[in-house]
Every structure is written in structure tokens, then in C-alpha cells.
């Protein structure tokens, strides 16, 4: 197994496993378009030539504003190949937010196929089929330390941060995870999360690390495609939808890596009964995705620390470091390290709260989600954990709502197995009064609007705005 690549990973695999299928677009058992490692290498070269012909230069920033597609994958790899940097953005963002974020990034180029606003977005617009005059050798060498990707991650306030990684941290992330999960060169991982999120990028680097197969399908086939692959990365709601679908009855899906949000034990139990091995992970953009993981079991913890990562608790807060930690945040065309400003302290504060029980990490929520109700500290995630144990509750977000007497009080926004009628609300009220202290009992129950469940994760700050707009 690879300690380190001496050349571009696809070139390495083109030598080691030249004719093995590397990429499948569609159902590999029925008419998928496929590329072997030799073809992948040649295609990346072609796309790289096209970028060079349009003026893309090393160290420049190329923004890709698109949902996952084979073109986005080619672009990502070609951008890296020419020594430039990739940043993905969600095309569903309102154009005002896109312009704001791109302006802050100062991207040199942009590819934005789904919007007709491309002309108004900052950066020189790229074409995938430019008129080509000549082809020449691209002299950039594989360098593990060169920045290759910027990944946007939203905090609770302000513009998202742009997290810079090099191949070394991406590959260290892949190798550490794959010491726990089995993913052989004959397995296939579905590109089941967006390439503008760290969870999607991490799939690409695991594929490159292992020389295995990556599977892409059009958005409408995502759920069905879970039948055809051996591996997938899913946020809990995606797995829930798959289990609720007709496709769950017959599938080849062996292992699923879960993360991004609290993973209900009821969900992993149901998936295991359907023959899917579940891995519960805790991760974040700054650490190139998964930090801790375990094979799911009856406990709600997120397992132990993976190789190439370190984790400690300081006053209940999670601090991390290791080879997977990013180079820094990108601001004003500069990479600012996250750590090392404080004498010798190279730990990064995640703002997540954690506890160890029986050598296993449990996530208790985010420090900045805490609010005060009538003088009592309320951690919304504590309340969410209790509500998730109710049979009717599939997904829940607890938020503070201003209150004249208490300052703030909790409100629960839920997705439920049956309609959220007054009968079910009464049941939930009774259940909570039997299980938590008065200040932790939600004063209202509302249904989570469908539009919030379309993204990788439900945004608390967006939901707070929505809540404020409800009477």
C-alpha cells in the first residue's frame, strides 16, 4: 500500500492498473460510460491543456459553481494538474451570496454551467471546449505540499471561511480512514455528496489513494445508484431516504460512512438490518473530513480517533491537530494558519463540545449554539438527542426563540414519521415532560420545511431566520 505518491496518483494507477475501470458514469452493470486509468490520465491531460489555453496558470484560483457532474470531476483534477487551485461553490446559492463570496475569494477564473448569471459573476469565464491552437507539455510536477483546494465552510456568522488543503492532508485523511474501513481497489464509492463540500472531496481522495472506482450519476439517480455501488458517504437524512425507498430491498451496498450531523442510533440499526454496514463519523472541513469513526453499534458515540489525527478535550471542548489539518484559511490572497500564534500551542479549537465515555467520543453540540433560558444554560443538541429517541421523530433541530420572561426558550423543528398533528404534539409534550427538566422542554413544535433538507446539512442560522418569520 502506498506510503506516498512520487507522481500524479492517476499516472501511478495508469502504470499499476492500466485497464481497470477508474470512473463509471451511470450503472456499471448496465450501460455505464466508463474510463480506465489510462483514459483518465489522458483525459485529465486534455482538460488541463484546455485550461492552459484559456490562461489558467499555476497558483491561480478557479471557482467551479456546479452540482456534481463528470465535468466537475475532470475540472477538479485538471485544475490541480496545472498547479492551480480549485474552489467549489453551491450553484443553488442566491446570486447575491455567490457574488459576495467570490469577491472575497478573488478567483481568477470561473466555470458556472447551470446559471445564466455567469457573466455577472467575478472571474474570467472558462469553456470546456475552447478553440485550441497547439498543445504543449504542462511542466507542473506532483507536489504533496502545494495548495490544491479551497473548501468553503460556514460558521455561525459572517462569510464562509475558505479552508486550504494540500494533497498531503487529503491523502493522510484517506489513508487514516481506510485503516479502519475496508475499501479495496475492486470496490466502488458513489460520489454521493457535493464537490463543493469536504465530504465530496474526501471521496475523490479516497478513490485516488486506493486506485479504486468512483461512480457518478445524475442527481435524479442518486438514490437508485446506492444499489449499484459498494460504498457511499451519506448524511443521516440521505440514508433515511434510501431506507424509506423501494431501492433498499435489493442492493449491493456494503459500507456507508455517515457524518456531518448527529447520527441517530435508530437509523444505523435499521440500516444494519437492511444489510448495510454503517460507520459513524465525526469530522470537519479543517481536518479534511472524518476525525473519529467507528462501526455503528448501540451507542450514540462517534468512536475513536483515526490515524493521522489527534484529539483532546479542554474544558469539555474538542481540540484537534495532525497531518490532516489544513494549511489555513484563505483571506486577501493569503493563507493564514489556524494555529501556532500562541507559544507552541498547535491545537485547533473546533468549538464542538465532547465527552469521553468508555474510550469513545460523544459529541455534545457546538459551544456557540448554547443559549440561556431563565438563567439556565440550554444546549440545544441535548434536547435534540432526547427527542430523537422518540419513535416518531426522524430529524430535529432545537432553536431559541425570544421570550419576554425567560430571555429565550427552546422551540423544536422536526421531521416526523407521521403527520405532526395536535395528537402527536401532545405526545411529544408529555414525553419531554417525563424526560427533561422544565427549561429544556420545547414550547412549540413545528415541521421542518422541505427546502431545508436539500443541502448537505440544515443551516441553523437560516432556520433561525425562518423561525423569526413565522408569525
Q: Which of 310, 276, 306, 271 is nearest to 290 (CA)?
A: 306
> Does 363 engage in binding with ligand 4YB (CB under 6 A)?
yes
Residue (72 or 232) nearer to ligand 4YB, CB? 232
CB 381 within 8 A of CB 364: yes
Smallest separation, CB 393 to ligand 4YB (Å) = 16
- 3-class state of residue 158 by DSSP: coil
> Does 282 engage in binding with ligand 4YB (CB under 6 A)?
yes
Q: Segment near ligand 4YB (CB under 6 A), from 9-17, 211-219, 275-283, 303-311?
A: 275-283
Residue (83 or 322) nearer to ligand 4YB, CB? 322
Exactly one of 149, 168, 188, 262 binds ligand 4YB (CB under 6 A); which one? 262
Q: Segment near ligand 4YB (CB under 6 A), from 16-24, 40-48, 277-285, 323-331?
A: 277-285
Q: Segment near ligand 4YB (CB under 6 A), from 282-290, 331-339, 393-401, 459-467?
A: 282-290
CB 290 within 8 A of CB 271: no
> Does 304 engage in binding with ligand 4YB (CB under 6 A)?
no
Smallest separation, CB 201 to ligand 4YB (Å) = 9
Exactly one of 302, 311, 428, 463 binds ligand 4YB (CB under 6 A); which one? 302
**Continuous H helices in 54-136:** 70-81, 95-105
CB 147 within 8 A of CB 166: yes
Residue (202 or 458) nearer to ligand 4YB, CB? 202
Degrees to nearest 5, angle at CA 447 with 443 and 451: 135
- 3-class state of residue 98 by DSSP: helix
322 DSSP 8-state letter: S
> Does 366 engage in binding with ligand 4YB (CB under 6 A)?
yes
List the x/- string, 164-203, binding to ligand 4YB by CB under 6 A: ----------------------------------xx--x-
Residue (198 or 208) nearer to ligand 4YB, CB? 198
> Does 289 engage in binding with ligand 4YB (CB under 6 A)?
yes
> Does 260 engage in binding with ligand 4YB (CB under 6 A)?
yes
Helix, strand, coil fractions of the chain, as percent rounded to 5:
30, 30, 40
- For CA atoms 122, 124, 127, 128, the dihedral sign is negative
DSSP string, 414-425: EEESS---HHHH
Q: Which helix (H) or strand (E) holds 162?
A: strand 161-165
> Does 300 engage in binding with ligand 4YB (CB under 6 A)?
no
Residue (194 or 211) nearer to ligand 4YB, CB? 194
Residue (38 or 448) nearer to ligand 4YB, CB? 448
Q: Segment near ligand 4YB (CB under 6 A), from 281-289, 329-337, 403-411, 423-431?
A: 281-289
Residue (65 or 198) nearer to ligand 4YB, CB? 198
Between CA 261 and CA 456 the distance in angstroms is 10
Three cell numbers, residue 282: 465525526
Three cell numbers, residue 347: 491545537
Between CA 196 and CA 77 the distance in angstroms is 14
> Does 257 engage in binding with ligand 4YB (CB under 6 A)?
yes
Q: Which helix (H) or strand (E) holds 207?
A: helix 198-210
Between CA 160 and CA 93 the distance in angstroms is 12
Smallest separation, CB 84 to ligand 4YB (Å) = 23
Exactly one of 60, 168, 188, 233 binds ligand 4YB (CB under 6 A); which one? 233
Q: Which of 67, 81, 65 is nearest to 218 (CA)?
A: 67
Three cell numbers, residue 96: 447575491
Q: Map grid coordinates 450503472 to a residue.
A: 27
Q: Segment near ligand 4YB (CB under 6 A), from 19-27, 86-94, 233-241, 303-311?
A: 233-241
**Continuous H helices in 245-312:** 265-273
Exactly one of 83, 176, 283, 442 binds ligand 4YB (CB under 6 A); which one? 283
Q: Tell me how long the chain is.
A: 471
List the x/- string, 329-358, binding to ligand 4YB by CB under 6 A: ---------------------x-x------
Q: Which residues bind ligand 4YB (CB under 6 A)?
A: 153, 198-199, 202, 233-235, 257-263, 281-285, 289-290, 302, 350, 352, 363, 366
Amino acid at each position: 500500500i502506498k506510503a506516498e505518491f512520487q507522481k500524479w496518483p492517476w499516472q501511478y494507477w495508469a502504470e499499476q492498473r492500466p485497464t481497470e475501470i477508474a470512473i463509471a458514469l451511470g450503472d456499471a452493470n448496465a450501460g455505464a460510460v466508463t474510463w480506465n486509468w489510462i483514459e483518465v490520465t489522458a483525459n485529465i491531460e486534455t482538460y488541463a491543456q484546455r485550461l492552459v489555453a484559456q490562461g489558467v496558470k499555476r497558483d491561480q484560483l478557479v471557482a467551479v459553481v456546479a452540482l456534481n457532474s463528470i465535468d466537475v470531476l475532470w475540472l477538479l483534477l485538471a485544475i490541480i494538474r496545472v498547479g492551480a487551485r480549485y474552489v467549489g461553490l453551491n450553484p443553488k446559492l442566491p446570486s447575491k451570496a455567490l457574488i459576495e463570496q467570490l469577491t472575497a475569494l478573488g478567483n481568477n477564473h470561473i466555470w458556472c454551467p447551470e446559471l445564466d448569471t455567469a457573466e455577472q459573476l467575478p472571474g474570467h469565464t472558462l469553456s470546456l471546449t475552447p478553440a485550441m491552437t497547439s498543445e504543449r507539455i504542462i511542466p507542473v510536477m506532483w507536489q504533496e505540499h502545494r495548495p490544491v483546494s479551497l473548501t468553503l465552510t460556514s460558521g455561525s456568522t459572517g462569510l464562509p471561511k475558505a479552508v486550504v488543503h494540500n494533497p498531503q492532508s487529503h491523502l493522510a485523511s484517506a489513508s487514516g480512514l481506510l485503516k479502519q474501513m475496508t475499501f479495496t481497489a475492486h470496490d466502488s464509492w458513489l460520489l454521493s455528496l457535493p464537490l463543493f463540500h469536504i465530504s465530496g472531496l474526501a471521496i475523490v481522495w479516497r478513490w485516488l489513494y486506493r486506485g479504486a472506482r468512483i461512480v457518478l450519476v445524475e442527481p435524479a439517480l442518486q438514490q437508485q445508484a446506492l444499489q449499484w455501488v459498494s460504498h457511499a458517504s451519506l448524511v443521516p437524512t440521505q440514508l433515511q431516504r434510501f431506507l424509506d425507498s423501494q431501492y433498499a430491498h435489493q442492493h449491493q451496498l456494503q459500507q456507508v460512512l455517515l457524518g456531518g450531523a448527529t447520527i441517530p442510533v435508530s437509523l444505523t440499526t435499521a440500516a444494519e438490518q437492511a444489510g448495510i454496514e454503517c460507520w459513524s463519523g465525526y469530522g470537519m472541513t479543517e481536518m479534511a473530513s472524518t476525525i473519529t469513526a467507528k462501526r455503528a453499534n448501540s451507542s450514540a458515540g462517534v468512536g475513536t480517533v483515526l490515524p493521522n489525527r489527534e484529539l483532546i478535550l479542554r474544558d469539555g471542548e474538542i481540540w484537534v491537530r495532525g497531518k490532516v489539518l489544513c494549511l489555513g484559511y484563505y483571506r486577501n490572497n493569503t493563507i493564514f494558519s489556524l494555529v501556532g500564534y500562541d507559544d507552541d500551542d498547535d491545537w485547533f479549537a473546533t468549538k464542538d463540545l465532547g465527552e469521553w465515555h468508555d474510550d469513545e467520543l460523544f459529541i455534545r453540540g457546538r459551544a456557540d449554539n448554547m443559549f440561556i433560558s431563565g438563567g439556565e444554560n440550554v444546549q440545544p443538541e441535548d434536547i435534540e438527542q432526547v427527542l430523537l429517541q422518540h419513535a416518531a421523530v426522524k430529524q430535529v433541530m432545537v432553536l431559541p426563540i425570544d421570550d419576554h420572561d425567560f430571555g429565550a426558550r427552546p422551540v423544536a423543528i422536526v421531521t416526523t414519521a407521521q403527520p405532526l398533528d395536535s395528537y402527536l404534539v401532545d405526545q411529544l409534550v408529555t414525553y419531554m415532560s417525563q424526560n427533561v427538566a422544565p427549561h429544556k422542554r420545547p414550547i412549540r413544535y413545528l415541521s421542518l420545511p422541505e427546502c431545508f433538507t436539500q443541502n448537505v446539512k440544515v443551516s441553523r442560522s437560516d432556520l433561525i431566520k425562518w423561525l423569526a418569520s413565522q408569525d
